[in-house]
Chain A
Amino acid sequence: MNTDDAPSVWPLASADQPDGPVPGEWVLLSYRMPREPSTPRIAIWRKLKRLGVAQLGDGLVALPADARTREQLDWIAEEITEAAGTAGVWLARPATLRQERQLATELAAGRAAEYAAVLAEATAALALRGTARTAAVRKLRAQLRRVRRRDYFPPPERATATAAVADLTADEHPTDQEMA
């Protein structure tokens, strides 16, 4: 939450979009957890990472609001409370489109890096044959599914990575049939 930015951002955003769209709704989770024991703290951190949250600050994360993201953050808030922490779930709108775009760009960049990793592994897997190839495809498909699930602002890398994983099976059909 860069309140310092507000004065300069406001006029720019409104100049861009005089009557244009307004920022969308986001769900925010604010939380504090005891430093020890560290196990629940790490478990929560993993869950948030898995959901692909944007880190707005210390103990403040955000996701674009929909039924699923609201529910997921609700349950995580509950879990934090059960682990002797405090948590609140909020619905909020970025004050400007520009601020929302920054947030979306940051999230998209995070996913782009994950898709790039899938692409690199898929390219390497082209050298594999038979069962090793099949195992690689299975792993990469699961990885893709995980990334897609937390991909709220799909970057171009999404299509590239998906195509690269699909290509791994395209020239592999005879082997698949032999094994079946």
Chain B
Amino acid sequence: MNWATRASIHIDRAACAWLIRRYIDADAHFVFVSDPADLPADATAFDMRGVDLGHHEGDCTFETILRRNDLADPVLWRIAEIIHEADLDDERYDAPEAPGLDVILRGLSMTRTDDEILVLTGPVFDGLYEFYRRSLLLGREPA
């Protein structure tokens, strides 16, 4: 399936792409557009104004995608809190990891293309998932 989002991706779009590929569409192909008018007709748009998979009622797009797909995995929701704070910084959640992740993605956006950022951040989100999965199971920080 084709998925489209705004070019020059940052934390929310990078995390959404990871989420889509891992949990919704293993064969997802991503297109980055600069102008919403260039959206391919066959693509599902996300993290753009005026589309369903965007920000709604204070949620960032990552949270919206979790809700729309009934993904209730608490590990994903813990990651959602970090993405939300890195993206919106509105202190809805306590996510001290957010500012760190935010600058990493901002830096990458200066040195890499959108496709490269997806390749680089995929394993980062895999690692975050494993970290929070273990800490949830253990009830404390894993080693």
Contact = CB atoms under 8 A, between A and B. Distances in A.
Interface of A: 43, 47, 50, 67-68, 71, 74-75, 77-79, 82, 145, 149
Contacts of A50: 89-90
Contacts of B109: 67
Contact of B8 (A67, A77, A78, A145): A67
B89 A75 contact: no
Interface string B54-81: 1111100000000000000000000000
25 contacts: A43-B58, A47-B90, A50-B89, A50-B90, A67-B8, A67-B10, A67-B109, A68-B10, A71-B10, A74-B49, A75-B49, A75-B54, A75-B55, A75-B88, A77-B49, A78-B49, A78-B50, A78-B54, A78-B55, A79-B55, A79-B58, A82-B56, A82-B57, A145-B99, A149-B89
Contacts of A75: 49, 54-55, 88
Interface string B1-14: 00000001010000
Interface residues of B, number: 14
A68 B58 CA distance: 17
A43 B58 CA distance: 9
**7 closest residue pairs by CB, A with B:** A75-B55, A78-B49, A74-B49, A78-B55, A67-B8, A149-B89, A78-B54
A72 to B, nearest CB: 8
B86 to A, nearest CB: 12
